[in-house]
Amino acid sequence: MKKSSLEKVIKRQNLSDGKNPFINILHDLPDAVILFDDGGAIFYANPQAENLFGAVKFMRDILPATSVLLDEAKFHKHLKNLEKYKRRDSFETQILNKNGEIIEATVSETAILDQNGKLCGFSAVIKDITQTKESEKRISRRDKQLFALIDVAEAITQMDGVESFLQRTLDAVLRVTSLTSGCVHLLDEEESLDLAVSQNLSGSAIEMLQRFELGEGLIGSSAVLNETLIVSDTTNDRRLARPVSTEKIGSLASVPLVGREGIVRGIMTLFHSEPRIFTAHESSMLTAIGKQVGVALEQARLLQQVTDSRREWEETFEAMTDGVSIHAPSGRIRRANSSLAKMFGTNAENLVGIRCCELYHGSKKPRANCTIMRTVTERLPQRVELHDENLGRVLRVITDPIISERGRIVGVVCTTRDVTDEKLIERRLIQQERISAIGEIAAGIAHEVGTPLNIISANVEYLLRGKSQTPEEELQAIKEQSSNITNLVRQLLDFSRDRSPEFAPVNINELIEKTVGLLNHQLQKSEIKIHMNLANYLPTVDGDPSQIQQILFNLITNARQAMEVVPLSERPRILKISTDSALMPTERFPHPHIVIKISDNGRGIPDDALPNVFNPFFTANKEGGTGLGLAISYRIVQRHSGIIIIENNPNFGVLAKIKLPLQNTI
């Protein structure tokens, strides 16, 4: 096309006239507008175009050297297409600004036709979208990072194992950062970093990365410093403790996996084959992912601990030889182990849902003194022995309340043991101890019986000689002494008789005086002074007199034997016995009760032996002993719902304290 044609168009349309309304519109547009002739020369540019491109004259001045439009043949083809279609919709391209910098732009082209409809030039509306493209790139990066975080969160919610979770997380991070490879190390119990998972690493690299110590290399340093460490160019970085020669690693980042309390649980290391700049946002994102993964690992570890603890508890629950059941506060069984089920000839599933009264008493209605109801009401452990007449056995049942963090009773643990054989052995032990006790008092019996017999013998001889004028006095003396012997024999029989416990009101003061009377000869022989301080009007207790007397006998005998080894030249031997009542329950003994104290001033018990004094066959008596006395006493006190305490006096000897509940208080 000839230049005169373009000049005619310009003149006809008055484009060179600054007052032309069309020119004014182009002048005020926010985008750059340039008018080109058919040779690519610029014959009009609005102020926005001049501000963007400066004083340029040709189209080639605003196109980068790589543009296809710089090729003349392709440029003419471009014009023919424009002449054919009259307009080209907006397209994105790169152009040069006045500083020679490549910018992103959108361009809309419109053909300028002469009066014959031939193309004589074209207009271009150019918009700088560099900042928009940068924003889009940032949004795209953040979207990818968000998707990575979502992938990590999804991996957490679907965690079916630590290894698979770490593999999914590593894959998501590599995908969003466009990095080459990576691995994750976890901190073990020895505080070493062991390789857990890896991706896109060779076998030799995996072997070299198996284990790091804290502080060793970049991975170990990241764990110690608890911060993300980045190497943009690994060429000369000395922190790489083990260069992986078979891998092409140009840059890397080590990210600590941090739990809730800032404790490092592991390190995630990401590799790239070429040197690479990590943006601040990428570093921030990796740190955030590290914290998210660290918390997830912490939760997984806690969950595993809970799972292991539950499994161990269930295994222990089932392995217990005692019958164990867990009850609702109403008494219904929530869970029972196989030992309890076997004890009642059924299976554990059949026990769930029934009440304790059905299991132990065969009754649908709870008893008024139901042990579980008392446990819930008093919020204290209970202990009871049940006699199963049908099967001829004795069951010892111990209940403990389950108290929630808010202080509510949410259940009861019930432990059941068949103590039939134990009771039989206990009775035999008591009988054995009583037989041993009879031997102990044999000398005293001989003395106590010998004196009345001598008196009887003397009176009989006196009567036989016929010297008595008033035989009634001698006969009365004979009767009294015979009665004394009869009472002594009766006491001995009561003491040695083996029978089932018979609970009745017991006057403890009278029982103490009777027991001291039995042992009086041995105490006098050992030159032991007795100081008794028995409380007036002491309430009665509910117990078996012979068994409580057995306790008193054992404790007084132990005190006598302990004092016999102390020379009289060192200090006089004193046995103190006192009683008192305590009507107010205490923290240790929550019932109104009486207290019996028996104290000696012997050598005392070695501190390391005190915890074992109630163990069967254990004795601290160097002169020997069965070691059964205190064990039997302990069992008897327990049977009477009381407690017995053995402790050393502050100065010399041992103090034994027995607490027995008052009648009708338990």
Res 279: pLDDT: 82
In angstroms, the Cα distances linking 527 to 316, 354, 599 are 56, 63, 16
What confidence tens digit (pLDDT) does each residue in 583-634 have? 776 767 777 889 999 999 988 888 888 887 877 656 666 554 556 677 778 8
Tokens of 532: 């008794």
Residue ranges and CATH numbers for the domains of the chain are 3-128 (3.30.450.20), 136-304 (3.30.450.40), 321-416 (3.30.450.20), 419-500 (1.10.287), 501-666 (3.30.565.10)
Find where tokens 């196109």 sit. Answer: 63
The number of angstroms, rounded, from the C-alpha of 469 to the middle of its chain's C-alpha atoms is 94
Q: Is 252 helix (H, G, I), strand (E, B) or coil?
A: strand
Tell me the residue type at 90. Answer: S
Rounded Cα–Cα distance for residues 597 and 580 (Å): 9
What confidence tens digit (pLDDT) does each residue in 67-111 have? 666 777 777 787 888 877 788 778 888 888 888 888 888 888 888
Whole-structure pTM value: 0.41
Residue 613 burial (CB count, 10 A)? 22
Here the contacts of 141-147 (C-beta below 8 Å, separation 24 or greater) are: 141/281, 142/281, 144/176, 145/176, 145/281, 145/282, 145/285, 147/172, 147/176
Tokens of 479: 């009767």
**Parallel, antiparallel or unpaired: strands 192-199 and 181-187:** antiparallel
The number of angstroms, rounded, from the C-alpha of 237 to the middle of its chain's C-alpha atoms is 44
Low-confidence spans in the chain with pLDDT less than 70: 1-22, 65-69, 141, 143-149, 151-160, 238-246, 429-451, 454-455, 458-459, 461-470, 473-474, 477, 480-481, 483-484, 487-501, 585, 587, 616-628, 663-666
